[in-house]
Every structure is written in structure tokens, then in C-alpha cells.
């Protein structure tokens, strides 16, 4: 697994698999940004571009539709003004440029405020996010779930980005060595590089 600049990540034991998705060439796509990236890619692929919007740390909302219309953020401290400009082409390159802009001004603090608390960890759904906002904070996203056909016991897969920006990767479960996490994980969810509590589960 590699960092955004092509170097190998020092910790090669945290991941089970690497996603075939670019990390970008700058140190932008970190942990909350990885969640934003996968959510945005899902909406873009589903032709739901009007639903692509995320908040900056300042609280200002960044809509992809506004970016397409030619507006760009002028950021001065916690003040954001959207400056009009020429409309951008509606293509994937414009979408990726929008995401890099969001990565620059969003993080775990803004994403934690933007997401809604999940009722209970046992109501987990694919696309939910374990997030602890802060400086530093961390976020991982649930990308798949499975149930044992006989017992009904459920498990889930997690994907993360990390600092510095690096390949998005499926996390290894340090307790088992495999990629699956038991839904009945107890009072804390221990991942290779962060520990979450059940109440850290949120959703879009």
C-alpha cells in the first residue's frame, strides 16, 4: 500500500486489501476525505449529482451543482464567499476537482457535525460511518455487511483513508487477522490505527 507520493506506507499490517481508486497526488484525501470520496462516488455513479454536497469546517455548504455552475470558494479564515465564474464542463474531471476542493476545507470536525447519529449499532447499515471529530480525529466507513446463514450473527467490513493521504484500504481486524468485524464488538471497536465507541456510529 502506498502514500499519495508513491512511497510505501510504513505500516503495511493495517490493511487487508487496497481499493482500486486514486489517492490523488497531494496530501488531501485523508480519513474524513475518504468517507466523502466514497459517498460522492456512489452518488455520482447513481446520477444523483444534485445530492452531492458537503460542509466545510466553517459550516458553509459546498454543493457540486454550485461548483458546476462556475462558483469557487474564496476562503478567509472562517469566512467563505462563493465567487461566480464560467460554468465548468459536466464531466468526471470537474467532479474530481470539486472533491479536491472539499478535501481542502472539510475534515472530521465538519463531517461529524454533518452526519446524523445512528439509533443503535445493531441498526448499522452499509454506508454508515464511525467518526470521532477532532484535531486529530478519525473516520472509517462501513462498506459491506454479512450474516451467518445458520446463526444470523452479523459482521461488517470497514474502509479508511489515513494521514498522510494514501490508498483507500479495507481494514484488517487486529483481533482476528481477517477483514470482518463482529457486529457484537462490545464497548469499543478496535481498528489497527484507531479505537471507536458504539456511539461514534453516524450516517448520511
Residue 181 has pLDDT above 90, yes or no: yes
**Average of pLDDT values for 139-168?**
96
In this prediction, residue 115 carries a pLDDT of 98
Task: Name the phi and psi angles at 117, rounded to 5.
Answer: -60, 140
- Extract long-range pairs of 20-23: CB within 8 Å, 24+ residues apart: 21/167, 21/168, 23/161, 23/165, 23/166, 23/167, 23/168
Asked whether residue 119 carries a pLDDT value surpassing 90, the answer given is no
Residue matched to cell numbers 481498528: 191
The model carries a pTM of 0.95
- What pLDDT score does 95 carry? 98
What's the CA gap between 81 and 71, in Å, rounded? 9
CB atoms within 10 A of CB 33: 26
pLDDT of 140 strictly over 90 = yes
**Per-chain mean pLDDT for the chain:** 96
pLDDT band at 78 (very low <50, low <70, confident <90, very high): confident
pLDDT value at position 76? Answer: 87
Cβ neighbours of residue 111 closer than 8 Å, sequence gap 6 or more: 32, 35, 36, 54, 55, 129, 131, 133, 139
Rounded to whole angstroms, the Cα distance separating 17 from 1 reads: 9
- pLDDT score at 135: 82
pLDDT given for residue 136 in this prediction: 86
**Grid coordinates of 59:** 459550516
Mean pLDDT calculated for residue range 99-120: 96
pLDDT recorded at residue 77: 82
Amino acid at each position: 500500500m502506498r502514500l499519495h507520493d508513491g512511497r510505501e506506507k510504513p505500516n503495511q499490517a493495517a490493511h487487508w486489501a487496497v481499493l482500486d481508486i486514486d489517492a490523488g497526488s497531494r496530501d488531501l484525501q485523508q480519513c474524513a476525505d475518504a468517507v466523502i470520496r466514497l459517498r460522492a462516488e456512489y452518488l455520482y455513479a447513481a446520477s444523483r449529482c444534485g445530492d452531492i454536497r458537503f460542509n466545510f469546517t466553517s459550516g458553509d455548504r459546498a454543493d457540486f451543482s454550485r461548483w458546476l455552475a462556475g462558483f469557487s470558494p474564496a476562503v478567509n479564515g472562517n469566512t467563505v464567499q462563493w465567487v461566480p465564474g464560467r460554468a465548468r464542463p459536466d464531466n468526471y474531471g470537474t467532479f474530481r476537482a470539486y472533491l479536491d476542493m472539499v478535501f481542502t476545507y472539510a475534515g472530521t470536525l465538519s463531517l461529524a457535525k454533518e452526519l446524523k447519529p445512528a439509533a443503535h449499532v445493531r441498526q448499522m447499515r452499509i454506508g454508515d460511518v464511525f467518526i470521532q471529530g477532532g484535531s486529530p480525529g478519525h473516520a472509517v466507513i462501513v462498506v459491506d455487511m454479512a450474516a451467518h446463514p445458520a446463526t444470523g450473527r452479523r459482521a461488517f467490513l470497514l474502509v479508511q483513508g489515513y494521514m498522510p493521504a494514501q490508498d483507500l484500504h479495507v481494514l484488517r481486524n487486529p483481533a482476528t487477522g481477517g477483514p470482518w468485524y463482529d457486529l457484537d464488538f462490545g464497548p469499543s471497536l478496535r481498528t489497527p490505527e484507531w479505537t471507536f465507541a458504539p456511539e461514534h456510529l453516524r450516517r448520511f
